[in-house]
Chains A and B, each alone.
Chain A
């Protein structure tokens, strides 16, 4: 498969808890990005981490990248019901022109 693998496939948590999702890939990368998708609509860009970066923060989001293990993780802290969505990692390679998508994690945040 050309897809990146995401784990878990689905995650259900209570509001206020943290959510962690993981992405593993097979190729060398230019950068890795995380996106959110609500109800089968368009994807919304969340955060980008370059291949020479190890950790990045944006608001309640924290992403890590381990190129030796070919893996990345996305942490959403203090989750809210509005965070309920599918989350995809996107592996950018081939000089920046080739995108490979992860299988996605369905996050449900309950009140």
Chain B
């Protein structure tokens, strides 16, 4: 079955703009989570969605937001981009939520560069 699909793969935006990233989970997976990876901060958790509801949120400013649709696809939005938002953004999906002891399946990521 198809893996987790993230689009676009690469993106260059200008400071002050906003950006929307997309993630399509594995078919049947209802939990989608987002992560930011930078050389300085490493991998950090952004938020997790399950059945269109945000279940958990990391320590990021309100400029970072997301949503999940009824087909479990998820989007992440960053408004008023800053240079420090340049990063690899990863999403991951898994079958459900709670302690279901499943590993996460990650997409290949979207590399965002803010200039």
CB distance from B92 to the nearest CB of A (A): 8
Q: Mark A59-98, 1 if CB is under 8 A from B, else 0.
A: 0000000000000000000000000000010101011111
Q: Which chain A residue shows the least CB distance to B105?
A: A45
- Our pick among B42, B98, B100 for the contact of A103 (Cβ within 8 Å) is B42
Chain B interface residue bracket vs A: 20 to 34
Is there contact, CB below 8 Å, between A44 and B101?
A: no
Identify which of residues 18-46 in chain A touch chain B, using a CB-to-CB cut-off of 8 Å: 30-31, 33, 35, 40-45
Main secondary structure of the interface of A (DSSP, over half): strand
Is there contact, CB below 8 Å, between B45 and A98?
A: yes
Q: Which chain A residue shows the least CB distance to B3?
A: A42
Is there contact, CB below 8 Å, between B90 and A100?
A: no
- Our pick among A3, A42, A96 for the contact of B97 (Cβ within 8 Å) is A96
Is A11 engaged at the interface, CB distance under 8 Å to the other chain?
Answer: no
Among B43, B56, B101, which residue has the most Cβ atoms of chain A within 10 A? Answer: B43
Is there contact, CB below 8 Å, between B42 and A96?
A: no
Known: A95-B98, A98-B56. A33 touches B44 (CB 8 A): no
Identify which of residues 75-110 in chain B touch chain A, using a CB-to-CB cut-off of 8 Å: 88, 90, 92, 97-109
Is there contact, CB below 8 Å, between A48 and B97?
A: no
Is there contact, CB below 8 Å, between A101 and B100?
A: no
Is B63 engaged at the interface, CB distance under 8 Å to the other chain?
Answer: no
Is A99 engaged at the interface, CB distance under 8 Å to the other chain?
Answer: yes
Known: A41-B109, A42-B107, A44-B106. A31 touches B101 (CB 8 A): yes
Task: Give me the interface of A with B, judged by CB distance under 8 Å.
Answer: 2-3, 30-31, 33, 35, 40-45, 48, 50, 88, 90, 92, 94-101, 103-104
What are 7 pairs between A and B in contact, CB < 8 Å? A41-B108, A43-B92, A43-B106, A88-B43, A98-B56, A101-B45, A103-B42
User: Which 7 A/B pairs are nearest by Cβ-Cβ distance?
Assistant: A45-B103, A101-B43, A42-B106, A96-B99, A43-B106, A97-B56, A42-B108
